[in-house]
Amino acid sequence: MPLTPNRRSALIYPSAAIVALAPAATSCSTNKNNVQQKPMNIVYIMTDDHTAQMMSCYDTRYADTPNLDRISRDGVRFTNGFVANSLSGPSRACLFTGKHSHKNGFTDNTTCVFDGSQPTFPKYLQKAGYETALFGKWHLESLPTGFDRWEIVPGQGDYYNPDFILQNGDTVVEHGYLTNLITDKSLDWLENEHDPEKPFFLAIHHKAIHRNWMADTCHLGLYEDRTFPVPDNFFDDYEGREAASTAEMRVDDHMDLIYDLKMNRPDKHSRLKERYESYYNRMDSAQKAAWDAHYDPIIKDFYNSGLTGKELAEWKFQRYIKDYLKVVKSLDENVGRVLDYLEQHDMLDNTLVVYTSDQGFYMGEHGWFDKRFMYEESFRTPLIMLPPASLKRRGDIPEMVQNIDFAPTFMELAGIDEIPADIQGRSLVPLLKDETPDDWRKTLYYHFYEYPAEHAVKRHYGVRDGRYKLIHFYNDINSWELFDLQNDPREMDNIYGKPGTEAITAEMMRKLKEAQEQYDDPIRFKYPVDSIQ
């Protein structure tokens, strides 16, 4: 297969050297509950924008994901998994550092470059004797550190015939479909490069299921005979929710007919037409032929239909769901390949397999696609694990967990006795051992920063406990929202300021203040004294 050199921006991907870690003992708390003498292998599979609604182990309305279901069926399913900042790069920075965005420095995708010299859990694993490898999406605007072996895609990556940045600094084009290629590289490393005498951490980071949902040619015909249920709040009017009303992520108004839904024709134009055509033009002649054979009849029927209004919005929703699910199909098949390899090589007895996404996603709820908001569909993230027998827990884990918890979890599994005190997450190992601590968290903290930017979601922070959620939208807006998740799980009724909610509001204000102090967030609401007494 020919490898074509490509350009690499020194500004976007500067050279980065691994900086030696400062001795951990300077600010550490001792963890005396090592899981086992033999360090555990970890396979961490993360996708982009894969929401729990689109995994059949969480929700059976849409997707059929038999290989993901294997992990859930034989392992554990976290039913309250959340992120700290629902955006791709910031979510990854939280994962690798175990810290909220304001502590790791990567708050948003538009202005930040990840400081690769800071401590990350792969570096601690290396010190503990692990081999570390990463293949696929990185999206932190600097080159990976803490990995013995890596190959990453620039930025978001391309579904077809993608570029890969190699460790030697070259950028090459590889022929094929990206989800398959990332799995190929990961399994090839396990088979041919990994030192079997060492424990390993393998990160398999997919672009899937990111916008614009370009399916592999072998899956283009899937789901075309199905009509999927439209969420009952698809035509949300956002009453009482000012920030929601100004967001630009509605399926009917903001989903691009050409870029997102592939309705390209020479005489039709859209804001994102050139971007779509750049992706399309990466295909070879055979790929284009299969693509055109599928989409040309749909394009013809659509432009002949003259759909408008509600009918057009619902048509766009159906196209969106179908394209999204086709990308999920490839992802699920490739997860199956990884599970099969581990099973065939007798590696599951001492390997933890983790599957998650960088955040959730809207599948028409509130009329939306995308993420960003602290509302449940994007604040939540799917999280399933297949633990070895030494970790006894099986079935559902209902405790509230967050992506800042991965770093201390993997470090404890690696036998690292001292977890640095500045790591803000908590190890999930007690939960996996079926030993839930009495002081497990009852409140989650969230902070989103990327505004002004695409989709126009206002900056906000908030807290969530087992029943209520309080959100403050700030910057060029000063708006509060309070939801009773027990009685209003779809978050349609903002009860902030309504008579009878004073005590609840004061309690959630107190929890917000405590969370911002606990995590040392410098951007804080100036709490009125009477609201927290």
pLDDT in tens, 382-403: 999 999 999 999 999 999 999 9
Distance CA 212, CA 13 (A): 24
Q: b or e along 423-453 (b: 16 or more beta carbons within 10 Å of the residue's beta carbon)? A: bbbbbbbbbbeeeeeeeebebbbbbbbbbee
Residue 24, pLDDT > 80, answer no
- 13: confidence class by pLDDT, cuts 50, 70, 90: very low
The burial class, CB within 10 Å (0-12 / 13-18 / 19+), for 326 is buried
**pLDDT value of position 347:** 97
pLDDT in tens, 125-159: 999 999 999 999 999 999 999 999 999 999 999 99
**Can you tell me whether residue 226 is helix, strand or coil?**
coil
- Res. 447: pLDDT tops 70: yes
Could you report the per-residue pLDDT of 252-301, keeping only the tens digit for each? 999 999 999 999 999 999 999 999 999 999 999 999 999 999 999 999 99
- Domains of the chain (ranges; CATH) run 40-213+322-440 (3.40.720.10), 242-320 (no CATH), 445-532 (3.30.1120.10)
What is the reported pTM? 0.92
CB of 387 closer than 8 Å to CB of 472: no
Q: What is the DSSP track for 427-449?
A: -SHHHHTT---TT----EEEEE-
Dig out the tokens for 178 from the structure. 């990206």
Contacts 24+ apart (CB under 8 A), 278-285: 279/158, 279/159, 279/160, 279/212, 279/214, 282/158, 282/160, 282/161, 282/162, 283/160, 283/161, 284/161, 284/175
For residue 25, pLDDT beyond 60: no
Higher pLDDT, 362 or 20: 362
Q: Residue 292: which H helix or E strand, with range?
A: helix 285-305
CA distances, 171 to each of 10, 115, 153, 162, 531 (Å)? 12, 22, 9, 10, 55
Q: Do 14 and 142 form a contact (C-beta atoms < 8 A)?
A: yes
Q: What angle do CA 358, 359, 360 make, to 5 degrees?
A: 140
Residues, the chain? 533
**Is the Cα torsion angle 163, 169, 170, 176 positive or negative in sign?**
negative
Residue whose C-alpha is closest to residue 363's, from 92, 77, 61, 82: 61
What is the strand order of the sheet 444-448 is part of?
444-448, 460-464, 468-473, 479-484
